Structure formats: structure tokens, C-alpha cells
């Protein structure tokens, strides 16, 4: 089973036999990998009923729910990791969701498409139209991505909140790309975060 590149990075970084909450877990591909390869106790939260049913069919513990609402019900520090992959930009209150992630999990993985990637910039600059790219494949009126964010926006946000970055990975296509020019060349970013002590 091949994982999406950002999920591969997360799967390779999560410590074995930890407790993991995957928010926006889809059909449970990452959870299944964490359970089967690393012996993790993985739980999931997913909005789409078909995905939830598929994940439950894999024997995973997944709750159908909305990250914008239902994260409030999870106790503090109840997981070693809270994972939010490709979901931050779809939430109504990304700042609140990030607070919840770092309340529920001792650490949090957050991955998102970078809206400042050069192809997005070019599309807007030269085409004058909202970008429709590989990672942002949907027209403006139908996209679930309601809070577009760039790598630099995210870094600035972490700084104002005093959130510690334990690791970051940047992807262009399936390839890793450097951190220095990530805001221009990364299509996709993965951050490993924890609260400042």
C-alpha cells in the first residue's frame, strides 16, 4: 500500500506504539499504516460518511464528526500525536482547530497545500483567475479550501502563538524540496509542532 507523500513522512516520523488521533482521516490509509507497521493505537475523525464506513470496514476506530465542532470533546493530552493532513485549509476556524490539536495531542502534525507555490502565483498573476492546480483541483465556487494559507503565513502564525516547530518537510510533486525557498517552491508542507513549555 502506497501512502500519499505527506502521509509517508508522517508515518515515518511517528514513534511506534503511540496513541494517534488522525483528524480528517479519510478512508483510514494512514491510520491502518500506523497500526499495522508501528503498533499505534490510532483513532480517527472524518466528516464524510462513506470514508468513515470504509475506515470502519478496515477495523479502525473512526468517529464521523466535524473538526470545527467535535474536537472540543477530546480530553487534554489524550494522544501522543494529533494529525491534521490536508484539512487545515478546509476548516472554518483554523486557529481554533490548531489550538485544539495542541491541547489534545502532545505533538501535532499539520500538512497543507502551499498557496504561495510559484504555479499558484503564476496562475493568479498571469491568468488572473483563481488557481486550479494538481493540489488545488477544484474551481473557486466548489472548493472545500476556504482558508488558503502559505508556508510563510503558517510560520508567522506559529511564531505569534509561540508554537515550537520540531520538524518541517516540503514537497514539490513527490520530491522533497528545500526549506529556504519553500514558500516559492513547495507545493505542500508538513509541520511537526508542540506547545512551548
Partner 1 sequence: MSEDARFGLSRTVTLPGPLRLDGGVLLSPVDIAYETYGTLAPDGGNAILVCHALTGDHHLASNHPRTGKPGWWTRMVGPSKPIDTDKYLVICANVLGSCLGSSGPATINPATGKPWAMAFPVITIRDMVRAQAMLLDHLGIARLFAVVGGSMGGMQALSWAATFPERVAAAVVIASAARHSAQNIAFHEVGRQAIMADHRWRGGDYYHDSDPPASGLAVARMAAHITYLSEAGLTAKFGRRLQARDAKTFGFDADFQVESYLRHQGLSFVDRFDANSYLYITRALDYFDLAEEHGGTLANAFRGDTRFCLVSFDTDWLYPTSESRTIVHALNAAGAPASFVELSSPFGHDAFLLESPELDRVIGGFLQNGTPR
Residues in touch with partner 1 (CB under 8 A) = 41, 43, 49, 52-54, 56-65, 70, 73-75, 78
Nearer to partner 1, 36 or 152 (CB): 36
Tally of CB atoms within 10 A around 64: 16
Nearer to partner 1, 52 or 151 (CB): 52
Give the shortest CB-126-to-partner 1 separation in angstroms.
43
Q: How far apart are CA 186 and CA 177, in angstroms?
A: 6
CA 144, chain centre distance (Å): 14
Instruction: Give 3 or 54: the residue with its C-beta nearer to partner 1.
Output: 54
Q: How far apart are CA 138 and CA 121, in angstroms?
A: 16
Neighbour count for residue 171 (Cβ, 10 Å):
24
Is the separation of the CB atoms in 32 and 58 below 8 Å? yes
Alpha-carbon span 78 to 75, nearest angstrom: 6
Report in angstroms how near the CB of residue 92 gets to partner 1 at its nearest.
Answer: 18
Please, what is the minimum distance in Å from the beta carbon of residue 107 to partner 1? 18
Judged by beta carbon, residue 25 or residue 151, the one nearer partner 1 is: 25
158 and 108 in contact (C-beta within 8 Å)?
no
> CB of 32: closest distance to partner 1 in angstroms?
11
For residue 114, the minimal CB distance to partner 1 (Å) is 32
Beta carbon nearer to partner 1, 73 or 166: 73
Distance CA 19, CA 37 (A): 14
Measured distance CA(44)–CA(25) in Å, rounded? 6
Amino acid at each position: 500500500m502506497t501512502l500519499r507523500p505527506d502521509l509517508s513522512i508522517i508515518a515515518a516520523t511517528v514513534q511506534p506504539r503511540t496513541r494517534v488521533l488522525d483528524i480528517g482521516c479519510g478512508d483510514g490509509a494512514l491510520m491502518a499504516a500506523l497500526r499495522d507497521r508501528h503498533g499505534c493505537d490510532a483513532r480517527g475523525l472524518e466528516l464524510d460518511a462513506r470514508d468513515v464506513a470504509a475506515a470502519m470496514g478496515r477495523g479502525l476506530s473512526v468517529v464521523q464528526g466535524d473538526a470545527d465542532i467535535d474536537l472540543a470533546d477530546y480530553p487534554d493530552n489524550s494522544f501522543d500525536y494529533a494529525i491534521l493532513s490536508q484539512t487545515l485549509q478546509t476548516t472554518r476556524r483554523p486557529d481554533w482547530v490548531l489550538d485544539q490539536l495542541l491541547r489534545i495531542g502532545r505533538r501535532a502534525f499539520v500538512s497543507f497545500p502551499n498557496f504561495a507555490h510559484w504555479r499558484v502565483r503564476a496562475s493568479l498573476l498571469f491568468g488572473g483567475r483563481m488557481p486550479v492546480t494538481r493540489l488545488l483541483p477544484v474551481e473557486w465556487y466548489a472548493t472545500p479550501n476556504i482558508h488558503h494559507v502559505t508556508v510563510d503565513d503558517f510560520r508567522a502564525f506559529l511564531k505569534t502563538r509561540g508554537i515550537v516547530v520540531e520538524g518541517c518537510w516540503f514537497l514539490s510533486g513527490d520530491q522533497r524540496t528545500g526549506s529556504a525557498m519553500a514558500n516559492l517552491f513547495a507545493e505542500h508542507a508538513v509541520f511537526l509542532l508542540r506547545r512551548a513549555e
